[in-house]
Amino acid sequence: MANHKTIKMKKLLLVSLALVASLNLAQAQDQIYWTEVALEVTPGKAPLVYKLVDDFYSSFEFPEGSSLTLNAIQNKSEWTNATHFLNFAGSADALAQLRDLRSGDEYDTYVNNLQGLAKIVAMKQGQSLVRIPGENGTYSEQMWSFFVENPGVFAEAFVELNKGFSNGNYISLGMYTGGERNETHYIYTTHSDAKNQFTFFPDNEKEQKAFAKFQSSVSPISQFKGSIISTVLGTWN
C-alpha cells in the first residue's frame, strides 16, 4: 500500500503537469528527467574520483539524449555533507536505457572503486516542468529548493518573474519526484563563467520589481528549503 508521502507526491506531480499543459510552456518530449547521486568525497581524493569517472564513462556508449555531469559543490545549505555529485539527465527513455547499461563486471568494479574514494550520502530524482530558453552555461549550476503547497500559483509566479529578467541565462522550474527531504520543487539555472554567476541577481529597477512580486506571490504558499551552487568538473554524453 502506498504511504501518505507517496500519494501526496503523486498528487503534486499531477497538478504540476496539468499546469504545464495549460500554460503550454513545455511539452512531454522536451522535459528533462534526472537522477542525482550526492557524494562525500574523502579529503584529497577528488582528483582520483574525477579520473575514475572519466576512465569509465569516456568509453561508455551513452543513449542518445542522455548525459552525465560531475560537479563539485561550492556553497551549500547546512543539511548536506555532500562535496560532489553525479547527475544523470535526459529524456525518460534515454535514462531508462542508461540504467540498463550500467551493469556487469566492469560497472561493479567501477562502483566498488568509487565507494573506496567517496560515500554516497543521498540520491534524488526530478523532472523539468517549465523551461525558459537561454544560454546553457557550462561553468557552474545553481539550484534553489522549495516545499510548495500550491504548484499552480508558484509556476505562474515563476513565469511572470522571468518576463521581468533579461540576463539571458537558461533557467527552469522543476519538480522533485524522489528524495529524502521535504522538498517538492526547484528552480535551476546555469552560468557561463564566474562573472555571470556572481552577477546573477536583480540589477535594475525592472528586475527588482519582478523579483519582489515573485516573492510576494510565493511566500504564502511555499517554504524555501535551501540552495546549492556547484562547479561543473566534467560532462560525458
Among 39-48, 73-82, 122-131, 196-205, the range with the most confident prediction by mean pLDDT is: 39-48
pLDDT value of position 78: 63
pLDDT value of position 29: 44
Place of cell 556572481: 198
pLDDT in tens, 67-112: 999 999 998 666 678 999 999 999 999 999 999 988 899 999 999 9
pLDDT at 26 over 50: no
Phi, psi of 49 (to 5 degrees): -65, -45
pTM for the full predicted model: 0.84
pLDDT in tens, 7-19: 454 555 544 444 5
At 55, which CATH number? 3.30.70.100
pLDDT in tens, 39-71: 999 999 999 999 999 999 998 889 999 999 999
pLDDT in tens, 133-191: 777 788 999 999 999 999 999 999 999 998 887 767 889 999 999 876 789 999 999 98
pLDDT at 3 over 80: no
pLDDT value of position 233: 97
pLDDT at 25 over 80: no
- Compute the distance between CA of residue 55 and CA of residue 170 in angstroms, rounded to an integer: 30
Domain of 69, in residue numbers = 4-236
- Compute the distance between CA of residue 43 and CA of residue 16 in angstroms, rounded to an integer: 40
pLDDT value of position 133: 79
Phi, psi of 52 (to 5 degrees): -65, -45
Average pLDDT over residues 199-203: 78
pLDDT at 20 over 60: no
pLDDT value of position 192: 87
What is residue 43's DSSP assignment? Answer: T
End-to-end CA distance of the chain: 38
pLDDT at 28 over 50: no
Average pLDDT over residues 105-124: 95
Higher per-residue pLDDT: 39 or 227: 39
What letter represents residue 217's amino acid?
A: S
Which residue from 122, 132, 174, 139 is spatially nearest to 13, judged by alpha carbons?
Answer: 174
What letter represents residue 168's amino acid?
A: G
Q: How many separate domains does the chain show?
A: 1
Least confident of 24-38, 115-129, 190-204: 24-38
